[in-house]
Structure formats: C-alpha cells, structure tokens
Chains A and B, each alone.
Chain A
Amino acid sequence: MRVMSGVPEAFATGLFPEISRYRHKVFIEQLGWDLDTQNGMELDQFDRPDTVYVVAQDEEDNVTGCARLLPTTHPYLLGDVFPQLLNGLVPPSSPDVWELSRFAAVDFSNQTTSALSQFSSEIAVGLLRESIACAARHGAKRIITVSPLGVERLLRKAGFHAHRAGPPMVIDGHAIFACWIEVDQ
C-alpha cells in the first residue's frame, strides 16, 4: 500500500477525480448515503482547493482508501452540517483542531473487504495513522471526526486515544457520531 497526502493541486493529473469516483463507489453505491454527486463523482462544498486529502493506492495505482482533512478555522462538515452531533458544544474553530471526514478503506480489487466491514482492514489502520500524522504536520493537536460508529473500533485497534463528543444519531438511516482524537506530538 502506498499512501500520499496533499491538496488536489499537488496530486498527479487524474488522481483527484479518481478519489472522487472512489468516494462515489463507497459512499453512494455501497453505503447508500444521500450525498451530492457530479458525473459519477462524490463532491461537496468542503472539497475546496485548500482541502487536504490522504489517499491509499495499491501497486496498480488503484485507489484503496481515502480521507479528507479540513481546518476548523474554515467551513467544515461537522460545524456546518452536523453540529447536533456535538452534544451542545459550540463547533470548534482553532488552528489546533482539524476535522477528519469521508474516511474510507475499501479495496475493490479484494473481494474480502466491503464498505460495511472496511474498518477492520490493515489498509484502514495504515490510512488512519497516516491521516492523523498528516493532520499533525498541519498543526493539529486534536482531531474531530464525524464518522460511522465502526471508526471507534478502528481507532482503538490503531492505538489512538479517542472519546465521543456526543451520542450517535441515526441520520438518513445511518448511525453516525462525532469523536475527538488526541494527536501525540
């Protein structure tokens, strides 16, 4: 597995559209989330030129995982769309706090993984570690994430200290929650 990170402009031509198509396959086609799409790509208002992405690829350059990192000093998913997951807390806005979202680790060339069981794979653990390290390189001391419940198990498996920001909520038929992750400096 090869993992790289950066803003869209930093990636080789064609990789960012490939990430967007991969997200469409995972979140729209497999998980059935009701998200905005554009020509087979899953993109929303938080996919900006300054958004940081972490992407995993296999030896044939197929995307096998991705994650999105947003500073909380700019608009971000939890603060703008799901503030109710914060249990009454005002959404954070600090250069020390980054948001992790759109985390996926489904290897479509490997039939043993699926979107529903993706969080137990080695790709998921490696991608999560690299995502948190990437956020730390951008100044994050804490990460807030809005994710499916399965991410909690992944965080524990990967050895991270995390705790919930509030109770899970079932939104559009999917149980999601917000979670704080401590970043070791």
Chain B
Amino acid sequence: MFNQVNSANVPEILFPLSMDGYVRITLETLKSLPLSHLLSGIDLDSRDNCHAGASLTDVSGYTEWVTATLPAITLGWDWRLDTSQGCPIFKRIEAPRSNIMIVDDLQQDVCWMKTAELLSEMIDHFDWQQDVCKSIAITYT
C-alpha cells in the first residue's frame, strides 16, 4: 500500500529517468514511496448534471498524485461516486495514467498493460478518498 506524505521534509530519492520518459521501478519500491495529493476535480459534464438535479451516481471526476522524488512519479485516475452501499464513496474507474513502467527483479519491463493492472490494484488498496473529498469541497464550495 502507498504511504501518504505526513512531513514536508521528505528526502529526495533518485531514480533513473529513461529517455522515453518512463520511471522504471519495481512494484515493491513504488509501494514504499510517499504520495502526495496534487489536485482533484469534478468532470464538467457531471457538474452540469448536478446543477440539473441529477443523482450522486452521475458525479465523476479525476485526481492527481505525485511523489517528492527526483524525477517525480505522477499517478492520476478517474473516479465516480458509488452509492450502491448507501453512503456515497469514491471509486476508481478505468486504468490510471502515469509515467511509471513497472520492472521485475531482472529490471525487465512488465509491459504497459500489466503496469496499468498493478497500479490499479495499488490504488484500490490506498486511502485516497478523504483527500479527494477535502479537495473537492474546497474547490467547489
């Protein structure tokens, strides 16, 4: 699971940045890195729908997270409000977007599709919803 940033004094960690723009990193190393919330937003269409009286199930948006490392790792994904369990909760939808290429123990790429799958699993075990909720509340109220 990702760690969240609790301190402003996070040490910078150097990773090789490939010429193709990818940060190549093992899954284990990635999981150990603190991620900080960068920005979140509501999709314009769903925001308009809200004003038109649509239900919460129509609300969707995006969120962006970043590491304090050099080079920086960027991870963004889309979400929607899930009301199927009663209390609305944020749920990731679709594959995340990033500059990450996961490599195996031999430093070989696992391919971008497998990377997207692994990142999706990590996000789903990461407590990101509160930060998104706070950010949305500040931005849109």
Selected contact of B74 from candidates A86, A88, A164, CB within 8 Å: A164
Asked if A168 and B72 make an inter-chain contact with CB atoms under 8 angstroms apart, the answer reads no
Residues of A within 8 A of B20 (CB): 142, 180
A165 CA to B39 CA in the complex, in Å?
Answer: 18
Asked if A163 and B76 make an inter-chain contact with CB atoms under 8 angstroms apart, the answer reads no
A97 CA to B37 CA in the complex, in Å?
Answer: 32
Interface stretch of the complex, out of B26-34, B63-71, B84-92, B127-135: B63-71
A87 CA to B71 CA in the complex, in Å?
Answer: 6
Within 8 A of B (CB), among A142-156: 142, 149, 152-153, 156
Q: A167-B38, A175-B39 are in contact. Are A89 and B17 (CB under 8 A)?
A: yes
Asked if A152 and B64 make an inter-chain contact with CB atoms under 8 angstroms apart, the answer reads no
Asked if B4 is an interface residue, CB under 8 A from chain A, the answer is no
Residues of A within 8 A of B112 (CB): 161, 163
Asked if A165 and B44 make an inter-chain contact with CB atoms under 8 angstroms apart, the answer reads no
Rounded to whole Å, the gap between the CB of A170 and the closest CB of chain B is 7
Asked if B62 is an interface residue, CB under 8 A from chain A, the answer is yes
What is the chain B residue whose CB lies nearest that of A163? B99
Asked if A166 is an interface residue, CB under 8 A from chain B, the answer is yes
**Contact bitstring B78-117, A, C-beta under 8 A = 1, else 0:** 1000000000000000100111010000000000100000
Residues of B within 8 A of A166 (CB): 21, 71-72, 74, 99
Asked if B38 and A168 make an inter-chain contact with CB atoms under 8 angstroms apart, the answer reads yes
Residues of B within 8 A of A87 (CB): 17, 21, 71-72, 74, 99
Selected contact of B21 from candidates A163, A168, A175, CB within 8 Å: A163
Asked if B66 and A167 make an inter-chain contact with CB atoms under 8 angstroms apart, the answer reads yes
A31 CA to B62 CA in the complex, in Å?
Answer: 19
**Contact bitstring A77-92, B, C-beta under 8 A = 1, else 0:** 0000000001111000
Residues of B whose CB lies within 8 Å of any CB of A are 17, 19-22, 38-39, 44-45, 62, 64, 66, 70-74, 76, 78, 94, 97-99, 101, 112
Give 21 pairs: A residue, B residue, CB < 8 Å, sorted on A: A86-B21, A87-B21, A88-B17, A89-B17, A117-B45, A120-B45, A142-B20, A149-B62, A149-B76, A152-B76, A163-B22, A164-B98, A165-B99, A166-B74, A166-B99, A167-B38, A167-B66, A168-B38, A175-B39, A177-B74, A180-B21
